Structure 1
């Protein structure tokens, strides 16, 4: 990861989440809550998992030695009870929390430096195990995790007859002038 790719991934994340929630809003609640045999059951379960995962990681990132000011409030938020934590069973509260997290992620990404990404990052997983990894690799996992589960959500929407539209990162990669 580079600082530039971190900013790009944050923008991509926010854009795709907007598309995901807009597409999900076209379904009745019963369709959102229906068990579709996905990793986290329903579309709402998958969306809740994304919120839980992002909250867990952002709370961890708030402990980085760089003390990112954009993450200062993350430790004031309640820690999710686990990876299946529910932030609600209706789309509106999930959307409000999603938008809050995406704004924090966007602000944080702009604060990340190459030196921050190169540092060793210490964190505990949800089982309490201690890890030491390069922060840039952990940030890469953070964004990959989001993309992975949004892909699942996109499939669930498609199965319900809703097209989320183009989801390729390449659309957001800036063109450069040819030599």
Structure 2
């Protein structure tokens, strides 16, 4: 599988898992979503807000990529978060809509990229103002790894609250090969 194909798979997995995460969270009452369970961002709602903040930061950085795809232009219009623990919304439905928009941008971005775009060195400053320059394909990989890390925390918080996230394996999105009679993985 090419690097670009792998990143597109990760974008699809990201969208699938975020939908599952928000669907499971929607089964909980508001006080359970906001309950401080000792996670790095306190609550499930805090963790979901952090993912929105971090993805917004990265998408805005990615907007400086010279490919200037439509997804990157749309990302540039996003308001920057005030901090990594910024609260976009205490209302799960509002936050879920924002999450779907971000996931759409990420999916569009990976769909529009060419292999050569992954080699571009992106210059950006961290939230603390530290200058960095890193290969764009590696930064996309970081974006997906960061999401997976915090979704793992969120799945634990859901479990603590009594909600079942269900199957979370990337394997569910990987196509079977070699046996044309084998069923396709569920989407």
Task: Return the TM-score normalized by structure 2.
Answer: 0.92
Q: Name the counterpart of 1:172.
A: 173
CA offset at residue 60 of structure 1? 0.6
Who is 1:5 aligned against? Answer: 6
Match of 1:95 in 2: 96
Structure of greater relative contact order (alpha carbons < 8 Å, 6+ residues apart) = 1
Q: 1:38 Cα deviation (Å)?
A: 0.1
Matches within 5 A, 1:67-82: 67-82=68-83
> 2:54 maps to what in 1?
53
Which digits, 9 at most, give the CA deviation of each residue in 1:55-87, with x for residues without a partner? 000011111111122121222221000100111
Instruction: Output the CA distance in 2 between the equivalents of 1:145 and 1:93.
Output: 22
- Structure 1 residue runs of 5 or longer lacking an equivalent are none
The two structures, once aligned, show a CA RMSD in angstroms of 1.1
- Residues 20-69 of structure 1 show CA distances to partners (whole Å, capped at 9, x for unaligned) of 00000000000000000001000000000000011000011111111122
SS in 2 for 1:131: strand
Between the aligned partners of 1:52 and 1:37, the Cα distance in structure 2 is: 20
Greater mean deviation of Cα atoms: 67-76 or 141-150: 67-76
Q: Find the aligned partners of 1:176 and 1:71 in 2 and give their Cα distance.
A: 33
5+ long unaligned stretches in structure 2: 180-187
Q: Any idea what the Cα deviations from partners look like across 1:98-146, whole Å, max 9, x if unmatched?
A: 1111111111110122111122111111111110111111110000000
Question: 1:113-124, aligned counterparts within 5 Å?
Answer: 113-124=114-125
**C-alpha contact (below 8 Å) 2:74/2:105 kept by paired residues:** no
> How far 1:92 moved relative to its partner?
1.1
Distance 2:72 2:34 in 1: 31
